[in-house]
Structure 1
């Protein structure tokens, strides 16, 4: 059946084998925080806070580094392709020692680097500017309190050095992404001062030049959050301007905009002015609720733009959701595979014929080809991709998840 379908796509000028090659060489960065509800491994880990919330209490969450790694290995076995780990600073291997955020070092993450090396995967990193006494007022890098601001500057500086060590040791650039929760519940009297302090902090953090083959800096924008409904310091406009001026990567999170605003249309504009793009593929339901990614219109539109703009080689695809109401391994697998299926659909578009029709002003053919493409049995190609990569097909996925739940998760 696959060979027959491949011929059908060839009639439209689509090289299915090429699409499968691109799929196999496009990693997705799996976010560690889905496995333990953003708890981390600090010795005095408290409530999540800082505008973040996880709902649900499904049994079997990871409680230790070993359990989290075990779950990640299981999730990776269910996802076709070769992927990456996305780690937050609160997930260090601290050995029960009290290590404050401004004191973290490479040694606290060496076991994670070694684990990634053993798995044959790359790794990305994030400073954790939340869930800490010095973030209780919702202000970190933009804080008017100089001691607080310097604390978070040192944390981000340390995170960049850790990111560079990760990239150097694994032979693959580490994307170190800065997101802060800074904002206000009610209307501020002086927005500009907060943004000037943030700019000053970022300049200080990024002042040390690191090898881009080891570390790639990214900054992440947001529309609003819990406790910052009226004002977010690091808005899209702020970070778009900053990333363009400083030539850092810009992170677009699908859940960080207005509920009716998609990020797909931003991609072609952003990539004209910044060197690289970091995507946090997420699903917001009425707000930045970080639901598990689906193969929905928004996710498909994001992947279509990456392929149509030919910017996959300048884009880092990561996920950002955390759902504690369902099996956490299933959430990883279903969400990542949904993003992959959306990418495959984009790669199977008759791109050349669509461009020819558009340039000729033949919008009838353009519309017709897009609809014809939707009707082709792309799922046969997906099943072949899973088979070649040694991952379960769609009908086998839930069985594998339930088997692991019975054998491992139910005993925790």
Structure 2
């Protein structure tokens, strides 16, 4: 176990090393402390939600695994979230999907209202966190054929349009109550498994549906509206209506936030290279930090080269005030609270690593044409004592240092998760 004095000593030495290359560690930590990651609620219950309709997860979404202790109620999910937040340094947000409301009996999605999320708003206020929101265009009988806002049936389109309008109002109420904008992100699964005969008309319908949803203006101090693209999905391998090009054009022409999900592109395509280009034309970006593995888009975030590249682009481009960072993964093969902790801590680690770069020096060398020194310093940076700075940040934030967070998760699993009634049926085979 790492002692407090050891952390302090290592931090002092590491700070000296960073100072020697012109990096202000204190300034980096101060900036990091202001960045709020939007932690996604759906990791805690395998995207089941609380509609209690018995409707299976669908519309291109699948969760793999059967680890014991899935949250089955709102109270259980909130308890698990509180545990996860206690392991993560800083003050962060919560990203809710519409199917996570507190419903007294069956409530159709086009009839949901802010009253179904008052409990979440009160909980968030008590926890001193802010909320973000998402319409839920999946796992519903009216989405079973893979089309929602682009559906050829005007009645089905109207149902989903009304759902989108209701979600805007809920998100705006959340933003007004918490005193900062709620990011409301629209993703729809619409597409076809095989090659369509008509790629144009569904996109016309989608644009018209979105325009109807966004028709009434809402105060931007309460609501930020994002739209999310995807290359392909399960059941829409050949054609997705809301492609990157569709939503890039839509964001530019409608002044919307563009959401880039790290798992929504070709397996050899990365979003880090898109950040600087898209921010030339759209007002702000929402990032869904995830990890794609082959055809699956939502693995737990690890400390990968791409994760570091994403954060480097945000910091080097001075884009922190224009980029909203959220998480989007769901893994039921491991402890779900550990998944939150691993993914969020890694995201923050990558941000800290980017903030500890001698960015001004690297840009100067590049401008002067000294590409040799630029590459050399970038590579030398990789062996700087970043870990000592991170441990100090965790210790000063009152969260576990190093591997100690895993002991806390195991204790919670033993005292709380193991007692949930469906633990036996979910036991690992």
TM range, smaller chain:
over 0.9
Q: Contact 1:357–1:365 at 8 Å: present in 2 too?
A: yes
* Aligned equivalent of 2:202, options 175, 194, 200: 194
Q: Contact 1:39–1:45 at 8 Å: present in 2 too?
A: no
Q: Deviations for 1:140-162, whole angstroms, at most 9, x for unmatched residues?
A: 00001000000000000000000
Q: Contact 2:225–2:257 at 8 Å: present in 1 too?
A: yes
Match in the other structure for 1:126: 134
Q: Contact 2:264–2:297 at 8 Å: present in 1 too?
A: no
How far did 1:50 drift? 0.3
TM score, norm. by length of structure 1: 0.99
Task: Write the distance in 1 (CA, Å) between the matches of 2:297 and 2:324.
Answer: 22
Establish whether residue 324 from structure 1 lines up as the match of residue 308 from structure 2.
Answer: no
Establish whether residue 335 from structure 1 lines up as the match of residue 343 from structure 2.
Answer: yes
Match in the other structure for 1:26: 35
How far did 1:289 drift? 3.5
Establish whether residue 69 from structure 1 lines up as the match of residue 78 from structure 2.
Answer: yes
Please identify runs of 4+ aligned residues in structure 1 that moved more than 2 A. none
Task: Write the distance in 1 (CA, Å) between the matches of 2:211 and 2:347.
Answer: 34
Q: How does 1:350-389 map to 2 (within 5 A)?
A: 350-389=358-397
How far did 1:105 drift? 0.3
Task: Write the distance in 1 (CA, Å) between the matches of 2:38 and 2:52.
Answer: 26
Q: Deviations for 1:268-307, whole angstroms, at most 9, x for unmatched residues?
A: 0011111110000001100233110001111111001000
Establish whether residue 11 from structure 1 lines up as the match of residue 20 from structure 2.
Answer: yes
Q: Deviations for 1:120-167, whole angstroms, at most 9, x for unmatched residues?
A: 001000000000000000000000100000000000000000000000
Q: Contact 1:184–1:232 at 8 Å: present in 2 too?
A: yes
Task: Write the distance in 2 (CA, Å) between the matches of 1:328 and 1:289.
Answer: 17
Q: How does 1:93-172 map to 2 (within 5 A)?
A: 93-95=102-104, 97-172=105-180
Q: Deviations for 1:81-134, whole angstroms, at most 9, x for unmatched residues?
A: 000000000000113x11000000000001101110000001000000000000
Q: Contact 1:13–1:352 at 8 Å: present in 2 too?
A: no
Q: Over the residues paired in the alignment, what is the CA RMSD in angstroms?
A: 0.7
How far did 1:13 drift? 1.2
How far did 1:398 drift? 1.0
Task: Write the distance in 1 (CA, Å) between the matches of 2:323 and 2:129.
Answer: 17
Q: Contact 2:199–2:241 at 8 Å: present in 1 too?
A: yes
Establish whether residue 263 from structure 1 lines up as the match of residue 271 from structure 2.
Answer: yes
Q: Deviations for 1:10-48, whole angstroms, at most 9, x for unmatched residues?
A: 121111111101111001011000000000000314100
Cα distance change, pair 29–45 in 1 and its aligned pair in 2 (3 A): farther
Q: Contact 1:141–1:197 at 8 Å: present in 2 too?
A: yes
How far did 1:325 drift? 0.4
SS in 2 for 1:375: coil
* Aligned equivalent of 1:83, options 85, 92, 103: 92
Establish whether residue 273 from structure 1 lines up as the match of residue 273 from structure 2.
Answer: no
Structure 2: which 5+ runs fail to align? 1-9, 421-429
Task: Write the distance in 1 (CA, Å) between the matches of 2:203 and 2:24.
Answer: 48
Q: Deviations for 1:293-351, whole angstroms, at most 9, x for unmatched residues?
A: 00111111100100011111111100000000000000000010011111111111110
Task: Write the distance in 2 (CA, Å) between the matches of 1:395 and 1:293.
Answer: 17
Match in the other structure for 1:37: 46
Match in the other structure for 2:62: 53
Task: Write the distance in 1 (CA, Å) between the matches of 2:370 and 2:189.
Answer: 47
Task: Write the distance in 1 (CA, Å) between the matches of 2:155 and 2:398.
Answer: 52
Structure 1: which 5+ runs fail to align? none
Task: Write the distance in 1 (CA, Å) between the matches of 2:265 and 2:296.
Answer: 8
Task: Write the distance in 1 (CA, Å) between the matches of 2:350 and 2:52.
Answer: 40
How far did 1:2 drift? 1.1
TM score, norm. by length of structure 2: 0.95
How far did 1:397 drift? 1.5
SS in 1 for 2:296: coil
Task: Write the distance in 2 (CA, Å) between the matches of 1:385 and 1:81.
Answer: 9
